[in-house]
Structure 1
Amino acid sequence: MGFWDLLAVASPPILQVLIISALGAFMATEYFNNLLSADTRKSLNKIVFIVFTPSLVFSSFAETVTLDDMISWWFMPVNVGFTFLFGGILGWIIVKLLKPNLKVEGLIIGACSSGNLGNLPIVIIPAICDEKGGPFGEHDACRKTALSYASFSMSLGGIFIWTYTYQLIHSRSMKFKALEAAEILKVPNKDLGADAETHLLEEKRRESTAIEVRAANVEDTENQVMVEQGSSNVLKENFWGRMISISRQLLEELMAPPTIATFMGFIFGGIAWLKNLIVGQNAPLRVIQDCIKLLGEGTIPCITLLLGGNLTQGLRSSSVKKSEIVSTIVARFIVLPFIGLLVVKAAKELGFLPVDPLFQYVLVMQYAMPPAMNISTMAQLFDVGQEECSVILLWTYAAAVIALTGWSTFLMWLLS
């Protein structure tokens, strides 16, 4: 297929996301009576998270995944880890070069490292199979396999986001709040009626206080050693406290409905007699699989509408510097996908990947996805940088329209 033919195949899925997201954004405004208000989005997001997404994940996994597939997909968790590792390094470099506000640091590193590995792949990747003349085989088989890849990507991305990214944004938020509290406690001497004698008395008082402090420091050397030992014990307790918090968060993510649906889908797909119970024309419990598939069909439109609604807040703020936004876009959509392409080509040469070109397409596209929407949820959770987060997400998702189309077209040309 020629370049323009591939572009014609790659662009409709991205345009679908753009159009439906625009509808969601319009529904979140007063012109549509705030149909997708903040409270409505929260409620709908819970329904998608608890009901629709697990249904889509389970139905696609149980129907298409086999035990051999599970073994052959072992590189995908490694690849997702690489997206977070290399993206985090790029974000750290941007922070060191531009030195942004502390409450923006975590958002920039998080936006560079944490891609949207769930919502968008589930929408875009199966839609590639719907276009005529696609390079990934017959429509039905391609779509089922694409849903399985995207579902697995979503479960893996959720685990990394709610461990690595969560701790990253949490630590930066706590530091910002601590510094903010310290600045509030600083009360400079702005007495307009103070004369030279008053300032001289203040200086003498500071000098006498400093002498007393030095004397106290000499006398309390032994107490200082005890305090240092106590502080080291506190650091150890803080370390173990963080480890327990991370473990608890990981366990909560493993118990999340989409993750449980992934595991159950693997079990039903990998064990033949369980699969025969619900999948197939003669399956005795086929009605259960049909009901689950029906619920799963509501996932993609709801997710896309929510995406547009959540981005509207970014239109109301402009406090993030242009250089920070541009650097994040370049890192997220140019540098990181290029690194991912090199990683996947190396893995292919070493024989780590299955023959399926769609699998390789998914692996590279994982590097090219815009930032995860969960970053916005974390900013709201810690009450730090919510407007800045909305600005970053708004402009990165606007750039994603061009970037995803370009990378998708290039990859289909490369793999066809």
Structure 2
Amino acid sequence: MNVFLPALLLSKLGSSVDARQAVALWPLAANMVACHLVGLLLGGAQVALLGVPQELRAQTVVIPALGNVGNLPLVLVPALLASPGMQAAGVGPNGGAGDLGVAYVMFGFFVASFIQFPVGWLMLQRPEAEPAALAGSSPSLASATLAAGPSVMAAGAVGAALPGGGSTGTAASTAVGGSVAAVATPLQQQQQQLQQQQQQQQQQRLRALAKGIFTPPVIACLLAVPVASVPELRDELFRPAGSLAFLGDVIDRLGAPMIPCLFLVLGANLAEGPGNAQVPMRVLVASCFSKLVLHPLAGAALVLLSLRAGLLPADMDPAIPLVMMIVWATPTAVLVHALATMMQNGADQVASLLFYQYIASLVTLPVFMGLVLQLYTTGQLAPAAYAAAAALPAA
């Protein structure tokens, strides 16, 4: 996947989406941000209303938010664009979209990459182990103080009782103070070592976070837009007569197996089954319902209202609303399970929730796709139609 997906991204984005077009695709970026925000709100509502166990709260919040916005849309969007209903509505290969549908999915995936990994990383962090380490060191400090305390009090009492005992008490206190300092010095060294370990762990976490964000697919996106923005380089790579057409053809062929491989990956994930994790039934049902029913309906309403209110460009490609709506309907990204495994924070429970989500999506996704096709057939997902209606004089 670290070869096929970057190659697909570079070939589709690099040949079609330059910097100017990337700016014009702001509806996809705004839709992706809204998609994740609404998912977080749904997850938070579940935690507040259902009394989710403490150990499952972070996972419950994250699961509705981080959807499969790359792999599944790469399969669904081209299939929908090639359907007779979409072509009859003037959308699809015969309507001018072609490979741009894949490019739109890739652009949305690029934006989501800067949202999903940081959000999942922050939300799925286990409670810090450092406070426990500090608490573990405090008993030794307390025991040292208690051990030295009676000596100090005894020395003070004896010094006060003796004639001229102030000096004797001072000497005794000094002697005992030396023993306390001797005990405190190793404790200070332990605390310094602990602070150094904390700094090293923080640096390692930042490096891991950067590595998780700047994955090979994201790097391919960062390279693709500059390539598309330089017409000479783009033509040399992706035009048949270009001097670098051989390299462009190799990149395109490396990206071609990506979509078929996605079915194998999905099948492999489902073949593992739900596992043995115990997830409360109310949490399981609410997770599937919020992600596969409430989330898509919220997305459809948001896209339709944006079109009716004229918030989206009138000259927008009619395939863009399709991509905007599909990303709301997909189940949770497998990335959530990978992060839960990395953080050792409820990985088995996440695997169980994802399994049942993907099984349920076999029913919900076709229903939602049928709804999208109906909206296109009736002209409700055509930006130009709303713009034309708004331009008509009032009766």
Superposed pair shares fold, TM > 0.5 = yes
Tell me, what secondary structure is at the counterpart of 1:142? Answer: coil
Tell me whether 1:92 sits opposite 2:44 in the alignment.
Answer: yes
Is the aligned partner of 1:297 residue 2:256?
A: yes
Contact conserved, 1:80 with 1:157, CA < 8 A, in 2?
A: yes
User: 1:248 Cα shift?
Assistant: 5.0
Query: Is the 8 Å Cα contact of residues 35 and 65 (structure 2) preserved in structure 1?
Result: yes
**Alignment of structure 1 residues 243-258 onto 2, 5 Å:** 248=207, 251-258=210-217
Stretch of structure 1 that moved more, 311-320 or 154-163: 311-320
* Identical-pair percentage: 22
Q: Is the contact between residue 314 and residue 392 of structure 1 (CA under 8 Å) also seen in structure 2?
A: no
> Which of 107, 113, 119 does residue 152 from structure 1 map onto?
107
Q: Is the aligned partner of 1:56 residue 2:16?
A: no
Q: Which runs of 5+ in 2 are unaligned?
A: 134-195, 378-395
User: How much has 1:271 moved relative to structure 2?
Assistant: 2.0
Per-residue CA deviations over 1:392-415 (Å, capped at 9, x if unaligned) read 001111111121111111112212
Instruction: Name the counterpart of 1:385.
Output: 346
Distance, in Å, in 2 between the alignment partners of 1:242 and 1:410 is 49
Q: Is the 8 A contact 1:313 1:387 kept in 2?
A: no
Matching of residues 207-246 of structure 1 within 5 Å: none
CA contact (8 A) 2:292 2:364 kept: yes
5 Å matches for 1:74-89? 74-89=26-41
Q: Which has the larger radius of gyration?
A: 2
Q: How does 1:14-413 map to 2 (within 5 A)?
A: 48=1, 50-134=2-86, 135=89, 136-138=91-93, 141-170=96-125, 173-174=126-127, 248=207, 251-348=210-307, 349-353=309-313, 354-413=315-374
Q: What does the per-residue CA deviation read over 1:264-298, in whole Å, with 9 as the maximum and x for residues that have no partner?
A: 21112222111111122211111111101111112
Amino acid paired to 1:167: L
Runs (5+) with no aligned partner, structure 1: 1-47, 182-236
Q: How big is the shift at 1:247?
A: 6.3
Kept after mapping to 2: 8 A contact 1:163/1:246: no
Query: Once the two structures are superposed, what CA deviation does each residue of 1:72-109 show, in whole Å capped at 9, x if it has no partner?
Result: 10122221111111111111111122222223212211
Query: Quick one: distance in 1 between partners of 2:31 and 2:204?
Result: 25
Change (3 A) 1:246 1:75: farther
Deviation at 1:255, TM superposition (A): 2.8
Point out 4+ residue stretches in structure 1 off by more than 6 angstroms: 177-181, 240-247
Q: Do 1:88 and 1:113's aligned partners in 2 also have CA atoms closer than 8 Å?
A: yes
| Paired residue secondary structure (1:64) | coil
Q: CA deviation at 1:337?
A: 1.7
Give the TM-score normalised by the residue count of structure 2. 0.71
Deviations 1:105-132 (A, max 9, x none): 1221111111011111112112223334
Q: Deviations over 1:115-163 (max 9, x none)?
A: 0111111121122233344342325953411110111122222221110
Tell me how far apart the structure 1 counterparts of residues 95 and 207 of structure 2 sit (CA, whole Å). 40
Asked if the contact 1:159–1:253 (Cα under 8 Å) also holds between the matched residues in 2, the reply is no
How far does residue 180 in structure 1 lie from its aligned partner after superposition? Answer: 11
Given the two structures, how large is their TM-score scaled by the length of structure 1? Answer: 0.68
Q: Give the 3-state SS of the residue equivalent to 1:376 in structure 2.
A: helix
Distance 2:283 2:130 in 1: 24
Q: Give the secondary-structure state (helix, strand or coil) at the position aligned to 2:75.
A: helix
- Distance in 2, matches of 1:404 and 1:52, equals 25
The 8 Å contact of residues 149 and 362 in structure 1, kept in 2 or not, is answered as yes
Shift of 1:253: 4.4
**Cα-to-partner distance string for 1:39-94 (whole Å, 9 max, x where unaligned):** xxxxxxxxx0x211000001011222244421210122221111111111111111
The 2-side partners of 1:179 and 1:401 are apart by 45
CA contact (8 A) 2:75 2:259 kept: yes
Secondary structure of residue in 2 paired with 1:263? helix
Q: RCO (CA 8 Å, sep 6+): is it higher in 1 or 2? A: 1
Deviations 1:243-267 (A, max 9, x none): 9888656643453211111122111
3-state DSSP of counterpart to 2:312: coil
How far apart in 1 are the matches of 2:201 and 2:298?
32
RMSD, matched Cα: 3.1
Q: Is the 8 A contact 2:77 2:102 kept in 1?
A: yes
In the alignment of these two chains, the number of paired residues is 312
Q: Deviations over 1:349-403 (max 9, x none)?
A: 2333452221011112211110010011012112232221111001111111121
SS in 1 for 2:11: helix
